[in-house]
Chains A and B, each alone.
Chain A
């Protein structure tokens, strides 16, 4: 139980660090002077001290939605797979519930975008709705496939099972599911090539457009939510698709786990530096690839048993 609580606390603490790390790495790769990797914490504390500016057209939704954006994600954090062997994990939550909770958070974020009567917010919500609708089927199919290889639909149990014995005979379908999930990780967290998290240009933005009209503590909460979402996806990827290193003691296992998270962050940064953002109507092609890989994974599993 202590390990469980400590893991959650550590994940929460390093959540802003991971995003700042991606940004710093990107700047370094582009021969810019990198920002400090603690910039995320600085932004957070700065925003916490500011007053909140609320639009006069805003309703109660603006005052409630930031909390409802963050709380499903924090709840998801409680249900993640364990980082070390024998640690406590929540066994009564399965992968569908986790996708549902993430969608709940997105639902309120989209309402938040529409609340302030600004056309930017509407634009962001509309684009996010479009992307989220196409992410959903790929996500469910990937979950289905992974659940069969791991022998359980519950993420905690699945993570433990995959580490205990890796499905060597199903490497092909495992790999396909991994590719699909990685694309979903990129799409759901609004990274390049789906969305550019750094720009404030209305042609390109999705996530930033929805939150353009909130400020102060509310903005801090929503920013925290996006970093928590990244940590959720990357630790799911680390536990389900890089299932090794759990058998060591707590400290060693935790270090390996964090190394995996930073590895994923590095991969994201390298992809972001090397690709351009896709046009909105090209994004379905990328998500289509995710859907096809998810189907491929299932078909290989069923037909070839590989």
Chain B
């Protein structure tokens, strides 16, 4: 019923280090939740069910816990179900997660041959005899990636995560998405094992697209939690790039590179859990103090909330993949595994992978821009609203939660060889070679890439160098005894005020303009001039709204098609009686004609004549005149 192999234990550990700081934070947040019992019940059931998913050993338990996880998180999104927006978001989440569940159920029904109590190892035999393994692969992709939030099934994240209470969004984004990654590992390795090359390429493409789409929509977002939710899409994309590279190398029989790429994907899974939880906690603390999610209403919070600001800064540096943080290390590993593509003997693949490198590098650059925006507008400058002016530091339990999560981030950076050793053991358990000695050939100080001509990185040396040099510089500055004078900011003779600062909309302006073909922004601009002049105005408003492309095309056009079909069904059901008689007459005519043509004797002229008669009869009798 349950199993505790290294992969399961690894993810149990992931859930625990994600959930324990969150529990502290959650209890600090609890006084602001009205339905306390409802919240706590579902909160702990949610954590328990996630652990249940990763330790279940057969299909039935897996599905049970998976569904329980979906339902409890759905209820948690509905904790503050007062606004219509929240209810809509929860409904959308419910729909998307069950869309995925459907495919998972289909997959498991086929893979277990209807006997849902089979273990994963026994499924492999059944799957091996199934004639269409790619169909099963697509079921898995749809099932897990709708939960993980990869393109094009990512649309629910920016709706559901902002509406949930902040500890829950931290848990959903930080931990629940990773359970879907667990599912991918478990089923692809244990059940669907020999992979054709195309599967890996597909995962790589999905990953590259997700990372770019996620970061681009994050940049244009003004709701801080929706911004972070979009970054989850990006990071899931990065994990999938690593995973896809692993699959590609595996199907090309490059075992060592494949292990390296999978380790990179696992490492990024852990890293994303740590910094994304921390970012959501920080966003929750800010939201809790200012009562708004709009990033334009923040500003200057670093003075009132130093702990939140510093932990948020750590997480921002880490998610922007800047050295020497853990986010940099895992992204470094993923880059290195992509550089390993120069060893492939498939030229078209070799030429295609640089495009994925391009996507990943672009994502990194845009993520830096996005987090400078998120951090700078939220915590620096002048407060942009009275809410931000009256903010103060959150309570002790919430601070404790954030500090503990920051400790997890730092531990992932400092004890990276230990974690990598563990990931290596997991992959050994899944039938890969152990490459720990190849990554750390001379001690734990230097991490080597396994690719030919690969690079080396030594995070601890870098950290020591940075801290040492900074300390030296600061000491030198102290020794100079420089006089310091506080004065107001110079702004061409005017006073700086909250309204003269750069806004988040303005900050993202150049990028929004450059990617205008993708964003297709709706701009609202209104200006009230003073009497008799056109250059001076008393009131000015500028707003930009961006509808995500996938939502505007894929989802809404499906919605429109369903609407149209249901309209036609409605029309059919509400005809006059005479028209039903006409339909019966036409059907009889069609049966007679088709019998004559197809069963009796076939000739083109008769077909043409009788077809024309049919069409005229349908036009006159059924459709009638256009009203």
Given A67-B474, A141-B361, A154-B456: A125 touches B317 (CB 8 Å cut-off) = no
Residue ranges of B at the interface with A (Cβ–Cβ < 8 Å): 299-300, 302-303, 306, 317, 320-323, 328, 332, 335-336, 339, 342, 347, 350-351, 354, 357-358, 360-362, 364-366, 368-369, 372-373, 375-377, 379-382, 445-446, 449, 453-458, 461-462, 465-466, 469-470, 473-474, 477, 480, 482-491, 496, 498, 500-502, 506-511, 513-514
CB pair A130–B474 under 8 Å, yes or no, is no
- Choose one: B381, B457, B482; the contact of A51 (CB below 8 Å): B482
CB pair A153–B485 under 8 Å, yes or no, is no
Q: Which residue of B lies closest to A61 (CB)?
A: B380
A290 CA to B490 CA, complexed, in Å: 37
CB pair B485–A132 under 8 Å, yes or no, is no
Q: Is the interface of B mostly helix, strand, loop or mixed?
A: helix
Distance (whole angstroms) from the CB of A289 to the closest CB of chain B = 15
Q: Does A199 contact B (CB under 8 A)?
A: no
Q: Which residue of B lies closest to A132 (CB)?
A: B365
Q: Which of A54-83 contact B (CB under 8 A)?
A: 54-61, 67-68, 70-72, 74-75, 78
Distance (whole angstroms) from the CB of B157 to the closest CB of chain A = 22
Distance (whole angstroms) from the CB of B480 to the closest CB of chain A = 7
Q: Does A135 contact B (CB under 8 A)?
A: yes
- Choose one: A121, A150, A217; the contact of B480 (CB below 8 Å): A217
- Choose one: B381, B462, B491; the contact of A114 (CB below 8 Å): B381
Q: List 16 A-B contacts (CB under 8 A).
A: A53-B484, A55-B486, A58-B489, A59-B300, A93-B457, A94-B456, A94-B457, A103-B320, A111-B372, A119-B501, A122-B502, A125-B372, A129-B372, A140-B335, A141-B358, A153-B339
| Chain A residues whose CB sits within 8 angstroms of the CB of B456 once the complex forms | 91-94, 153-154
| Chain A residues whose CB sits within 8 angstroms of the CB of B466 once the complex forms | 71-72, 75
Distance (whole angstroms) from the CB of A147 to the closest CB of chain B = 6
| Chain A residues whose CB sits within 8 angstroms of the CB of B454 once the complex forms | 153
- Choose one: A96, A119, A154; the contact of B502 (CB below 8 Å): A119
Q: Does A281 contact B (CB under 8 A)?
A: yes
Q: Does A272 contact B (CB under 8 A)?
A: no
CB pair A96–B455 under 8 Å, yes or no, is yes
| Chain B residues whose CB sits within 8 angstroms of the CB of A97 once the complex forms | 323, 332, 455, 457, 462
Q: Is the interface of A mostly helix, strand, loop or mixed?
A: helix
A69 CA to B510 CA, complexed, in Å: 24
CB pair B449–A57 under 8 Å, yes or no, is no
Q: Does A213 contact B (CB under 8 A)?
A: yes
> Chain A, 147-189, contact with B by CB distance < 8 Å: what is the 0/1 string?
1101111100000000000000000000000000000000000
Distance (whole angstroms) from the CB of A218 to the closest CB of chain B = 9
How many residues on A have C-beta within 8 angstroms of the other chain's C-beta atoms?
Answer: 82
| Chain A residues whose CB sits within 8 angstroms of the CB of B458 once the complex forms | 92-93
Q: Which residue of A lies closest to B496 (CB)?
A: A117
Distance (whole angstroms) from the CB of B442 to the closest CB of chain A = 10
CB pair B489–A52 under 8 Å, yes or no, is no
| Chain B residues whose CB sits within 8 angstroms of the CB of A10 once the complex forms | none
CB pair A140–B361 under 8 Å, yes or no, is yes
Distance (whole angstroms) from the CB of A121 to the closest CB of chain B = 7
Distance (whole angstroms) from the CB of A286 to the closest CB of chain B = 13
A126 CA to B503 CA, complexed, in Å: 10
Q: Does A21 contact B (CB under 8 A)?
A: no
Residue ranges of A at the interface with B (Cβ–Cβ < 8 Å): 48, 51-61, 67-68, 70-72, 74-75, 78, 91-97, 100-101, 103-104, 106-107, 110-111, 113-123, 125-127, 129-130, 132-137, 139-141, 144, 147-148, 150-154, 212-213, 216-217, 221, 280-281, 284, 291, 295, 298-299, 302-303
- Choose one: A51, A103, A217, A291; the contact of B322 (CB below 8 Å): A103
Given A53-B487, A127-B510, A303-B351: A61 touches B302 (CB 8 Å cut-off) = yes
CB pair A52–B364 under 8 Å, yes or no, is no
Given A56-B487, A92-B458, A153-B455: A133 touches B366 (CB 8 Å cut-off) = yes
CB pair B335–A71 under 8 Å, yes or no, is no
Q: Which residue of B lies closest to A130 (CB)?
A: B510
Distance (whole angstroms) from the CB of B130 to the closest CB of chain A = 38
A256 CA to B534 CA, complexed, in Å: 62
Given A100-B322, A119-B501: A59 touches B362 (CB 8 Å cut-off) = no
A212 CA to B506 CA, complexed, in Å: 19
Given A48-B480, A75-B465, A217-B480: A57 touches B381 (CB 8 Å cut-off) = yes
| Chain A residues whose CB sits within 8 angstroms of the CB of B501 once the complex forms | 117-119, 122
A141 CA to B382 CA, complexed, in Å: 39
| Chain A residues whose CB sits within 8 angstroms of the CB of B506 once the complex forms | 122-123, 126
